[in-house]
Amino acid sequence: MAKPVWIKHALLATLKGQAGPRSGAAMSELGIIEDGSLWLEDGIIQAVGTTDDLALTYGGRSGEAEVVDAAGRLVTPGLVDPHTHVVYGGSREGEFEKRLQGVSYMEIMNAGGGIHATMRMTREASEEELYDQSRKRLDAFLVHGVTTVEGKSGYGMDLETEMKQLEVMKRLNAEHPIDLVPTFMGAHAVPAEYKGREDEYVDHLIEKMLPKAAGLAEFNDVFCERNVFTPEQSERILEAGKRYGLTPKIHADEIVSYGGAELAAKVGAISAEHLLKASDEGIEAMAAAGTIACLLPATALYLREEAAEGRKMIDRGVAVAVSTDCNPGSSPTVSMPLVMNLACISMRLTPAEALAAATYNAACAINRQDRVGSLETGKGADVVLWGVHSYQELQYLFGVNHVESVWKNGERVVG
Ligand code: NIG
Ligand code: FE
C-alpha cells in the first residue's frame, strides 16, 4: 500500500461545492483555498482545508506520509478529457499536408480517406498493436495532467473491429493508471460496403452492433453531419442505444449547421460535441435541457475553422466542458493544457471558466462527477501540482506543459 501523501502550502483550486454541471456564473467559482492542504490515503482524498487545519488533524501522522511542500504553487484536480478517439490504428500525416494545400476535411473523407482511412488501418491492426499505440497516447495524456479519459470506438464500423476497440479500452482501463470511459461510436461514418444503403447500415448497427457493444460501453455517440448521418438517422440510433442503457452523445454541427444541438436537447443527450456551427435556437434548447456543450477548440484550430461560441454559450446558461478530441485526423493532440489555453484565446472563456471546463464540467460530461473533477473529501485522489502560482498563469503562459507532479488514486505517477 502506498504511503499517505500530505500536500502543504498549495494554492488549491478545489472546484468543490456544486452537484451537477456548472453553468453561468458558477463556472467561475473555483473554490480557491490559499495556503491549502490535502491528505491523500487509500486512493481517496481524506481531507481538504488550509495547511493550519490539516496540521491540527493530521500533523501527528506526518512522519508516515510523503510530505510535499507546494510552496504556493497551484494544485488542481486531475484533468478530465471527456471526448477522445484515442484507440486507433495508423496515422494520417499525408492528409494533413493535403489540407494545408486547400483540400477540405470532408472532401478527403468523401473520397474514401479521413475516417475511412483510419477504419482500414484499425481493421488491419491486431488487438496487441492497437493496445500498444493507444497505451503510449495515454502515457502522454498523463504527463499533461489528465487522469480520466473518455474513449470512443468508431474506427471499425463492423461488429468485430468495434468490439476489438472496446476490448482494448477495457484492458487499458484495467492496466493503465488513467481511467478510460468507453463510448460506442459505430455511427462515426457509413462504411464503404454500405455506400448507397445508408439506412441498411443504421438497421444493422441497431440490430447487430448495439446489443453487443452495450456490454462494454456506457455512452452511444453519432456523427450527425451532412453526408454522414442525418438527424433522423441519428435520433433512431440514439433512441435505440437508450433501450440498451447507453447514454446519448452527439457530434453536432461541426462542419455545417444541421440541427445537431437541437437533437441533443431532444433526445436528452448528456453532451453535444463540437458545435462550431450551432444555431441560436440549438444553444437555447441545450440550455433549457441541461445538455453540456463539449467544445473542442484544438479541432477548430487544426481544421482552420472559427471555434465554437463558448462565451455566448456560457452567457446563455449552457454548461461548457472542453476536450482534446484526440484523433488522427482533426485533432492529433493529447494536450488538455493547450485546450484550456485555446478555450481562453479562441472562445473567450475566462481562465477560471477554462479550468472548470477541463475538470468538474468535463467529469459531468462523462457522468464521473461523483468520483473525479474536484478536490473533495471522499473523492478519488487524482491531483496535479503545476509549476505556476495562479490559475491565470496556467492559462496565460500558453503552449507549455506546466505539470510538475500527478497523483492518480493517491499514487504519484508523474514527477
Ligand atoms: O470529432 N468528426 C468526427 N470525428 C472526429 C474526427 C475523426 C477523424 O478524423 O478520424 C472528430 O473531429
Ligand atoms: Fe470527436
From first to last of the 415 residues of the chain, give the pLDDT tens digit.
689 999 999 999 999 988 899 999 999 999 999 999 999 999 999 999 999 999 999 999 999 999 999 999 999 999 999 999 999 999 999 999 999 999 999 999 999 999 999 999 999 999 999 999 999 999 999 999 999 999 999 999 999 999 999 999 999 999 999 999 999 999 999 999 999 999 999 999 999 999 999 999 999 999 999 999 999 999 999 999 999 999 999 999 999 999 999 999 999 999 999 999 999 999 999 999 999 999 999 999 999 999 999 999 999 999 999 999 999 999 999 999 999 999 999 999 999 999 999 999 999 999 999 999 999 999 999 999 999 999 999 999 999 999 999 999 999 999 9
Query: What's the pLDDT score for residue 2?
Result: 84
- Model pTM? 0.98
Q: Does the beta carbon of 218 sit less than 6 angstroms from any atom of ligand 1?
A: no
Measured in Å, residue 303 CA sits from the centre of ligand 2 at: 13
Ligand that comes closest to the CA of residue 332: 1
Residues with Cβ within 8 Å of residue 110, at least 6 apart in sequence? 227
Q: Does the beta carbon of 95 sit less than 6 angstroms from any atom of ligand 1?
A: no
Phi and psi, residue 224, nearest 5°: -85, 105
Q: Does the beta carbon of 114 sit less than 6 angstroms from any atom of ligand 1?
A: yes
d(CA 378, CA 375): 9
Measured in Å, residue 383 CA sits from the centre of ligand 1 at: 30
**Residues around ligand 2, an ion, CB closer than 5 A:** 325
Q: Is the ipTM of this complex over 0.95?
A: yes
Ligand that comes closest to the CA of residue 187: 1
| Nearest ligand 1 atom, CA 255 | 2
Query: What's the pLDDT score for residue 1?
Result: 66
Q: Does the beta carbon of 99 sit less than 6 angstroms from any atom of ligand 1?
A: no
